[in-house]
Homo-oligomer: A and B are copies of this chain.
Amino acid sequence: MSYQVAVLAGDGIGPEVMVEARKVLKAVEERFSLDIEYSEYDVGGAAIDKHGCPLPESTLKGCEAADAILFGSVGGPKWEHLPPNDQPERGALLPLRGHFELFCNMRPAKLHGGLEHMSPLRSDISAQGFDVLCVRELTGGIYFGKPKGRQGEGEQEEAFDTMRYSRREVRRIAKIAFEAAQGRRKKVTSVDKANVLACSVLWREVVEEVAKEFPDVELEHIYIDNATMQLLRRPFDFDVMLCSNLFGDIISDEIAMLTGSMGLLSSVSLNSEGFGLYEPAGGSAPDIAGQGIANPIAQILSAALLLRHSLKEEAAAKAIEDAVAKALSDGYLTGELLSADQRDKAKSTREMGDYIAQAV
């Protein structure tokens, strides 16, 4: 059996961390005799420079022919002056999500033992650790709802966006959250603003219905404003957080920052056929691009998630995750994870990739 993977390395540190992810993938392919074919396509700022748009037709076609997309990161100061719609992040990510109906986004954020000092939280809070999975609806809500636009003139000119959710859309993402919770600590916290939004009232109704099918999973509801607060005081009380598109954007970034080590976090965006886009949480980090110091772990873990969710190669996925865990527990770390006085022990992007590939 042969798999096709579309590789969209993108901008900033994207290409350099992708090299290491490919290295680790090669190692698992050998160990587990997998046959994966890779095709590289331009995306983001790189695609703007070469083709005039962040998501060229050729890239979209290449992704359509693949079983999954391994995504790097896009964006940078060079393209920031462009109108919002043409910018790399918005112009590449949103159409990809929409085109492939990648409605399910999962962003795990775990505070690794030994890396508590990276968390911006007070030491007595971070000492308790946390492991939160944000399950975010990714193709609905105010991101894609119509109408969206402008009307009127002068000071009366107004802009409008529509938040919109159907029962069907809420149900399918809620199910995934409950299924995920069954394999974890069996708790779903649904984040909404039901005291203000009609969409949230519907959201709550459907989530309650779905909960009945999962009697072993505890369900609680929390308002987005309160969720933002409680995560700061007691992140360890949360297991799976189920969010609409906009609230998931906020919560997933908050929990990522609470770990203090974004270079370790990856995410998956799936459609109902298991086709998915896999990407690091951290962004293109143009400030450190090209210096060989970026942490490739998030990209490497994206590859593991790709093996698990789209290719159903669980053993290979696990092998990568174990190798990453070994690197971390061996104290084999890039500079941003080390305190100032330990900085001379920092490993380069390439050294990290080599070590993890080796461990596989």
Interface residues of A (CB under 8 A from B): 84, 87, 89-90, 94, 119-123, 125-126, 142-143, 145, 148-150, 152, 154-168, 171, 193-199, 201-203, 224-226, 228-229, 232-233, 246, 249-250, 252-254, 256-258
Judge whether B168 and A159 touch: CB under 8 Å: no
Copies of this chain present? 2
User: A84-B194, A121-B121, A253-B225 in contact; A163/B164 too (CB < 8 A)?
Assistant: no
A149, A163, A250 pick with most chain B CB within 10 angstroms: A250
Contact status of A228 and B228, CB under 8 A, knowing A142-B163, A159-B199: yes
In the bound complex, do residue A166 and residue B157 qualify as a contact, i.e. CB atoms below 8 Å apart? yes
B160, B225, B257: the one contacting A198 at CB < 8 Å is: B160
Cβ-defined contact, B195 with A87, below 8 A: yes
Q: Which DSSP category, helix, strand, loop or mixed, fits chain A's interface?
A: helix
A121 neighbours in B (Cβ, 8 Å): 120-122
**Complex Cα gap A314–B260 (Å):** 43
Residues of B near A142 (CB, < 8 A) are: 142, 161, 163, 196-197
Known A159-B199, A161-B197; further 12 A-B contacts with Cβ < 8 A: A84-B195, A145-B160, A152-B166, A155-B168, A156-B166, A160-B162, A161-B162, A161-B163, A161-B199, A163-B163, A193-B246, A229-B254
Q: Are B162 and A162 in contact, CB atoms less than 8 angstroms apart?
A: yes
- Min CB distance A90 to B, Å, is 5
Given contacts A157-B167, A158-B167, A232-B254, contact A198 B148 (CB under 8 A): yes
Known: A87-B195, A162-B160. A232 touches B250 (CB 8 A): no
**Nearest CB of chain B from residue A213's CB, rounded to whole Å:** 15
Do B156 and A168 touch (CB < 8 A)? Answer: yes
9 nearest CB pairs, A to B: A159-B202, A229-B257, A158-B166, A225-B253, A155-B168, A159-B198, A161-B163, A120-B232, A90-B195
Which residues of chain B are near A164, meaning CB under 8 Å?
A: 158-160
List 28 A-B pairs, Cβ < 8 Å: A84-B201, A94-B196, A119-B122, A121-B121, A121-B122, A122-B123, A123-B123, A142-B142, A145-B160, A152-B166, A156-B168, A157-B202, A158-B164, A158-B166, A159-B165, A159-B198, A159-B202, A160-B163, A161-B197, A161-B198, A162-B163, A193-B246, A196-B246, A224-B250, A225-B252, A228-B257, A229-B254, A232-B254
Closest residue on chain B to residue A198 by CB atoms? B159
* Shortest distance from the beta carbon of A123 to any chain B beta carbon, whole Å: 7
CB distance from A247 to the nearest CB of B (A): 9
CB-based nearest B residue for A251: B228
B150 touches A167 (CB 8 A): no
Taking a contact as CB atoms under 8 Å apart, the answer to whether B167 and A155 are in contact is yes
Which of A161, A197, A246 has most B Cβ within 10 Å?
Answer: A161
